[in-house]
Amino acid sequence: MDAVFRALADEGRRTLLDRLHARNGQTLNELCEEMDMSRQAVAKHLGILEEANLVVVQWRGREKLHYLNPVPINEIAERWIGKYERNRLAALSALKQALEGDSK
């Protein structure tokens, strides 16, 4: 669990997760596009995300594809969010999104 928090405590790594959330299953080259970071830095961040089990790698032929794995984030959420709170929190979150627009 410490590894998950450490991995999430970096803007660049959160941006990589955002990009996989928008389009799952990308190569290192694809993820490097539009990132203001060297290829080595992106590879290193992906390694930290992979160690925290937030990114999972699968090979498709010769292509190494990166997938967002939200399971550890759900485990953290479940630790502090009860079953009956889930729907109310989802409603609040939807309301916040509607009122604030798509901006993050």
What is the contact surface with other proteins in residues (CB under 8 A)?
A: 1, 24-25, 53, 56, 58, 67, 69-76, 78-80, 82-84
Q: How far apart are CB 75 and other proteins at their closest, in Å?
A: 5
- Least distance (Å) from other proteins to the CB of residue 79? 6
Q: Which is nearer to other proteins, 12 or 70 (CB)?
A: 70
Smallest separation, CB 2 to other proteins (Å): 10
Query: What per-residue string of b and e applies to 6-28 under the rule 16 or more CB within 10 Å gives b?
Result: ebbeeeebbbbbebbeeeeebee
| Cβ-based nearer residue to other proteins, 44 or 50 | 50
Nearer to other proteins, 25 or 35 (CB): 25
Pick 28 or 56: Cβ nearer other proteins: 56
List the beta bridge partners of residue 58.
65
Question: Whole-number minimum distance, CB 99 to other proteins, in Å?
Answer: 22
Helix (H) or strand (E) holding 66: strand 63-68
Main-chain phi, psi angles of 9, to 5 degrees: -85, 40
Residue 98: Cβ within 10 Å count: 9
